[in-house]
């Protein structure tokens, strides 16, 4: 990120050096807040309304009262991208509980704070889209619905970070995360899909998977391409013995998996269903979306 980066912060676009929050902000002190990651391609923001709607749903779930309308937040995203002169990249939209002194009581924070960052991004090197990722299973489990809904994209990301640390220590770029029952929930930052006998399968939301925006796009593309797709409980055995596997996420887009826990998936090469979906996704992302203006 360059020193000339422009950040939208609480109603103003400021230089990166001036984009500061209070040390008493509860987003910093307690991870009390929500966020969204959004992609834009060829001057269009991909699935902007869906991302902003999910941001508001996450805020509602944690009793975080928004000061802005969904339409205003959409405009803020576009304004931030324009201020940075970008046509392709990634937006990080963050809403914190705001400053309120020490103590957990969220009602002592008089108003939330919001900032928006637009920058270039490349989560995985392009070569991995051609040769595929190798995954490991993380010992860190996903929290259950009884603890905190995985549908809330909160600033409490320590669970995923600890799992990501396991991946790094094992020399892998991503890892499977299991739920309390030991079945597959998702990966540290992506949603997992497998392909078996021509059917695309992904974990159910109730098994701990985030109802991701890119995940939803894959369902749409499968319907368009007449590929059967279902949600089901998935075990590690199902992953190991799949014909294909791939991950999806806003930053990752659609990327193949060729090995998990030292077991080759299929023939150890990106599969044909994945290739078809990647092509369709990139066409969709490049040709649709809300114009930056």
Same domain? For 80 and 189 the reply is no
pLDDT score at 152: 94
User: Could you give the CA distance from residue 74 to residue 107 in angstroms, rounded to a whole number?
Assistant: 27
Q: Are 261 and 241 in contact (CB under 8 A)?
A: no
Same domain? For 46 and 190 the reply is no
Angle between helices 213-225 and 272-287 (to 10 degrees): 110
153: annotated active-site residue: yes
End residue of a domain, out of 60, 86, 119: 119
Same domain? For 187 and 77 the reply is no
Range of the domain at 253: 127-286
Task: Tell me the C-alpha to C-alpha distance, in Å, between residue 28 and each of 98, 158, 168.
Answer: 9, 13, 25
Same domain? For 241 and 106 the reply is no
For residue 47, being part of any structural domain is answered with: yes
Task: Tell me the C-alpha to C-alpha distance, in Å, between residue 24 and each of 14, 99, 118, 156.
Answer: 21, 5, 25, 17
Same domain? For 91 and 166 the reply is no
User: Could you give the CA distance from residue 266 to residue 275 in angstroms, rounded to a whole number?
Assistant: 14
> Exactly one of 6, 20, 153, 164 is catalytic; which is it?
153
Same domain? For 137 and 72 the reply is no
Number of structural domains found in the chain? 2
Task: Tell me the C-alpha to C-alpha distance, in Å, between residue 162 and each of 126, 165, 169, 177.
Answer: 26, 5, 11, 11
Same domain? For 270 and 141 the reply is yes
| End-to-end CA gap in the chain | 23
For residue 291, being part of any structural domain is answered with: no
pLDDT score at 167: 97
Q: What is the DSSP string of 250-268?
A: TTTEEEEEEEETTEE-TTS
**pLDDT < 70 stretches in the chain:** 1-3
Same domain? For 229 and 113 the reply is no
Domain with residue 114: its CATH number is 3.30.470.10
Q: Are 92 and 121 in contact (CB under 8 A)?
A: no
Same domain? For 238 and 107 the reply is no
User: Could you give the CA distance from residue 260 to residue 247 in angstroms, rounded to a whole number?
Assistant: 12
For residue 213, being part of any structural domain is answered with: yes
Listed residue (107, 114, 105, 143) closest to 55, CA to CA: 114
| Number of residues that this document lists for the chain | 293
For residue 162, being part of any structural domain is answered with: yes
Other beta carbons less than 10 A from residue 149's beta carbon: 16
For residue 10, being part of any structural domain is answered with: yes
Same domain? For 258 and 146 the reply is yes
Domain with residue 189: its CATH number is 3.20.10.10
End residue of a domain, out of 84, 119, 154: 119
Same domain? For 227 and 282 the reply is yes
For residue 91, being part of any structural domain is answered with: yes
Using DSSP's 3-state secondary structure scheme, residue 169 falls into helix
Same domain? For 114 and 217 the reply is no
User: Could you give the CA distance from residue 48 to residue 36 in angstroms, rounded to a whole number?
Assistant: 10
End residue of a domain, out of 89, 119, 149: 119
For residue 1, being part of any structural domain is answered with: no
For residue 292, being part of any structural domain is answered with: no
pLDDT score at 148: 84
């Amino acid at each position: 990120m360059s020193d000339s980066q422009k950040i939208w912060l609480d109603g103003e676009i400021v230089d990166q050096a001036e984009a500061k929050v209070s040390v008493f902000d509860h987003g910093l002190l307690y991870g009390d807040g929500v966020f969204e990651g959004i992609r834009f391609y060829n001057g269009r923001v991909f699935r902007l309304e869906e991302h902003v709607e999910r941001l508001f749903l996450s805020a509602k779930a944690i009793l975080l009262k928004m000061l802005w309308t969904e339409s205003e937040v959409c405009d803020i995203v576009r304004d931030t991208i324009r201020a940075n002169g970008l046509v392709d990249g990634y937006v990080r939209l963050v809403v914190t509980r705001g400053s309120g002194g020490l103590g957990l009581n969220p009602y002592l924070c008089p108003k939330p704070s919001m900032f928006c960052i637009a920058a270039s991004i490349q989560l995985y090197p392009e070569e991995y889209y051609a040769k595929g990722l190798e995954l490991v299973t993380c010992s860190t489990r996903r929290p259950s619905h009884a603890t905190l809904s995985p549908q809330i994209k909160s600033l409490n990301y320590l669970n995923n970070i600890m799992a990501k640390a396991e991946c790094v220590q094992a020399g892998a770029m991503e890892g499977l995360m299991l739920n309390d029952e030991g079945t597959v929930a998702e990966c540290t930052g992506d949603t997992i899909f497998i392909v078996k006998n021509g059917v695309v399968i992904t974990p159910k939301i109730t098994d701990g998977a985030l109802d991701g925006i890119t995940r939803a796009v894959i369902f749409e593309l499968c319907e368009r391409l007449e590929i059967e797709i279902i949600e089901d409980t998935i075990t590690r055995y199902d992953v190991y013995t799949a014909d294909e596997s791939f991950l999806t996420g806003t930053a990752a887009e659609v990327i193949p998996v060729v090995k998990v826990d030292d077991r080759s998936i299929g023939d150890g090469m990106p599969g044909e269903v994945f290739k078809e979906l990647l092509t369709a996704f990139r066409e969709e992302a490049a040709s649709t979306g809300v114009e930056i203006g």
